[in-house]
Amino acid sequence: MTTAYKIKDIAERSGFTAATLRYYEGIGLLPESTRTPAGYRLYDDRTLDRLAFIARAKQLGCTLDEIADLTLAWDGGQCGPVQDRLRAVVADKIVGAQQQIVELMTLSSELQQAANTLELHRPDGPCDERCGCVTDPTADTPSQSQSVSLVRKSATNEPVPIACTLASASMRGRLDNWRALLHHVVHREQIDDGVRVTFGAATPLDELIGLTAAEQDCCQFFSFAITVDTRGVALEVRSPQEALDVVNTLFGVPA
C-alpha cells in the first residue's frame, strides 16, 4: 500500500524545502503530483526515493541539467544504467575538480609572491611603480626562488615543509608540461604513500626524466622513482601523508 504525503511531510523527510519541491516539479525533475479535492499536492514513497537520488547527485556537484539527464536512467528502474551514467558524470567532475585545485595552487603561488612584493617598498605619498599596488614590480626581473606552501599550516601555526620553490611565473608552464606528459598514462595504482603511473610505449622518456628531475629540484618533499619492468615504464611518486592530495592532484587519482 502506497503512503500519501503532503508537501510539508515530503519536505521534512527529504530535507528539501517546499518551495524547492514545487520548483523541481515545475521543471520536470519530479513528476507532477496528484492533488486532493482541496487542491493540496500529494506525493508517495517513490518521490522520496527520487529525492534521495537527486540529493546524492547534488552532493556530487551535479547541475540540475545533469540531474535531469540522470533521472532519465533512474526512471528505467534498473540500477546498472544509473551507475553507468553517474560513473561518467563523476569522472568528469574529478577532472574538473583536479583542474580547479591546480589553478588554486597556481593562484596561491602568485598571491604569495604578491604578498612578498607588498612588503618591499612603501612610498611616502601616492602609489608608484614599485609598491606593488598597481603593477607587478618583479615582472621584468629574473624570478627568485621562494618557498610556496602547498598545504595548510599545522595546528601549532608552524610552517609545514610541504612547499614548492618554483617561481610562480613558471608554475603554470610546469603544470602544463605535466598534463601533456600524463596524457600518455595507461594505468594508475595506489602504492604506499603515493601513486604509480604506468606510461604507454609512445611516451617520450627524455621528457619524463627531465621533468621528473626538475620537479624533484623544486618539490623536495616528493620522492620519485622511474621503474622499468614487465608492466612497462612507470613513475612512482611518494610524499608525506599530509601531501597525498597534492600527489593525486598532479598525477591523478588511482582507479
**The pLDDT value given to residue 151:** 47
Last residue of a domain, one of 77, 112, 139: 77
Q: Give the model confidence (pLDDT) of 138-173 as tens digits.
A: 766 544 444 444 544 444 445 445 777 777 667 778
Instruction: State the pLDDT at residue 154.
Output: 42
Tens of pLDDT, residues 75-125: 998 999 999 999 889 888 877 776 676 677 667 767 777 887 888 888 888
Q: Is the pLDDT of residue 238 over 50?
A: yes
Contact 235, 208 (CB under 8 A): yes
Q: Domain limits at 154?
A: 97-251
Q: Does residue 86 fall inside a structural domain? A: no
Same domain, 118 and 37: no
- In the chain, the percentage of residues whose pLDDT exceeds 70 is 85
Number of domains present in the structure of the chain: 2
Same domain, 69 and 190: no
SS3 183: coil
For residue 101, the model assigns a pLDDT of 66
Q: What local confidence, expressed as pLDDT, does residue 255 receive?
A: 60
Domain assignment present for residue 85? The answer is no
Q: Are 146 and 116 in contact (CB under 8 A)?
A: yes
46 & 152 share domain: no
For position 253, what pLDDT does the model report?
72
Q: Are residues 133 and 17 in the same domain?
A: no
Whether residues 62 and 111 fall in one domain:
no
How many contiguous H segments (helices) and E segments (strands) does the chain have?
A: 8, 9
- In this structure, is residue 84 part of a structural domain? no
Q: Residue 132's pLDDT is what? A: 85
Mean pLDDT lowest for which of 47-61, 87-101, 226-240? Answer: 87-101
Q: What is the pLDDT of residue 62?
A: 92
How far is residue 144's CA from residue 137's CA, in Å, rounded to a whole number? 13
Clarify whether residues 102 and 227 are in a common domain: yes
12-48 per-residue burial string, b: 16 or more CB within 10 A, e: under 16: eebebeeebbeebbeeebbeebeeeeeeebbbbeebb
Q: How far apart are CA 155 and CA 91, in angstroms?
A: 33
Residues 167 and 64 in one domain: no
For residue 30, pLDDT beyond 80: yes
φ, ψ of residue 58 in degrees (nearest 5): -65, -40
Neighbours of 147 (CB within 10 A): 14
Instruction: State whether 64 and 107 are in the same domain.
Output: no
Whether residue 106 is found in the same domain as residue 62? no
**What CATH number is given to the structural domain containing 52?**
1.10.1660.10
Q: Where are the alpha helices (DSSP H) in 118-193?
A: 168-182
pLDDT (mean) for 58-85: 92
Amino acid 105: pLDDT: 65
